[in-house]
Amino acid sequence: MLTKLIKQEFRATARVMIPMYLVMLALAVGARFFTDDLGDLGDLLKALCALAVLACILVNVAAMILRFKQNLLGDEGYLMFTLPVTVHQHLWAKLVAAVAWFAATLAMSLGSLCILADSTAFTIGAGGIQVGIPLVSVHGVAVAFPDNGLFLLELAVLGFVAGCTLCLQFYAALAAGYSFSSHKMALSVVWFVLLSLATTVLTEVMPVPEVEFHNNWVATLHLALWVISGCTAVVGAIYYGITVYFLKHRLNLS
């Protein structure tokens, strides 16, 4: 059943996201290949492409929020919660779809920027993916990012955990705000602010292992990525628990 829910999420959000991607790519291609011929119009296309990238990011976040609100907290909620599906399955379906669209938006945005650029800084060869710009600086010395598949895996894990945590912060605030009978959206905003403040305090007092760069900076960076992912996952788990509690015990669809 979870697979069916995920498919439904992708169908519902693809109607918005895919046209946005097509517009962004079309503007990038037009700005890249026709700038010299179009003059000022080419510069306008570049500006519009940059705005389209920003619009895609904002629409992605808005779609994630509205999909949760309308599907589980609005009139559709009466139907959704009668299905033989648990709250956890509802949540994970939305999380998987939202994070997948985040990744797609990032990829399409980078692709559009690469199209606009005269040359890319990325090369793919027998040794794997190499980045031609220094992404890490150790003691003020730029260090080329190592050609190591483990870093890509760790970055993917961190991206997934961070994406889920971002979604769950909005979900928790909405679920809590919509547990009241009136002023639901206003109370959701209040809950979001309170959760943000609580998260700031939590991250200040959380016993985070100290990570310092030593001679073996590659191993240190591995450790840093896992520490950041772990701390982010703890915050996300708290948001997840709040969301599940309010959806299970305090849901108010009236």
% of the chain with per-residue pLDDT over 70: 79
Q: How much of the chain exceeds pLDDT 90, in percent?
A: 42
pLDDT score for 53: 87
Each residue's pLDDT tens digit, 117-175: 754 444 444 444 444 444 444 444 444 555 456 777 888 999 999 999 999 999 999 99
Q: What is the pLDDT of residue 129?
A: 41
Q: Note the pLDDT tens digit of each residue in 216-232.
A: 666 777 788 888 899 89
pLDDT score, position 134: 45
Q: What is the pLDDT of residue 59?
A: 92
pLDDT of residue 137: 47
How sure is the predictor about 185, in pLDDT bands with cuts at 50, 70 and 90?
very high
pLDDT at 187 over 60: yes
What are all long-range contacts of 128-136, with beta carbons under 8 Å and residues at least 24 apart?
Answer: 136/217, 136/221
pLDDT at residue number 127? 43
Task: Output the pLDDT for position 132.
Answer: 41
- Residue 50 has what pLDDT? 83
Average pLDDT over residues 8-25: 91
pTM of the model: 0.81
Selected residue with higher pLDDT from 211 and 238: 238
State the chain's mean pLDDT as an integer. 81
Tell me which residue of 251, 241, 195 sits closest to 72, measured CA to CA.
251
**Is 123 strand, coil or helix?**
strand
Give the HSE-up count for residue 88: Cα atoms under 13 Å, Cβ half-sphere.
2
- Least Cα distance to 50 among 30, 35, 33, 28 occurs for 28
At residue 22 the predicted structure's pLDDT band, cuts being 50, 70 and 90, is very high
Which residue in this structure is represented by tokens 């904002």? 58
Tokens 């793919």 sit at which residue?
Answer: 124
Q: Across the strands, what pairs with 144?
A: 134
Q: Report the C-alpha gap between 1 and 6 in whole angstroms.
A: 9
Residue 36's pLDDT is what?
60
pLDDT band at 91 (very low <50, low <70, confident <90, very high): very high
68-85 mean pLDDT = 87
List the end-to-end C-alpha distance of the chain, in Å, as a whole number. Answer: 27
Strands 141-144 and 134-138, sheet pairing? antiparallel
- Alpha-carbon dihedral 50, 55, 60, 64, rounded to 10 degrees: 160
Q: For the chain, count helices (H), then strands (E).
A: 8, 4
For the chain, domain boundaries = 1-120, 131-254
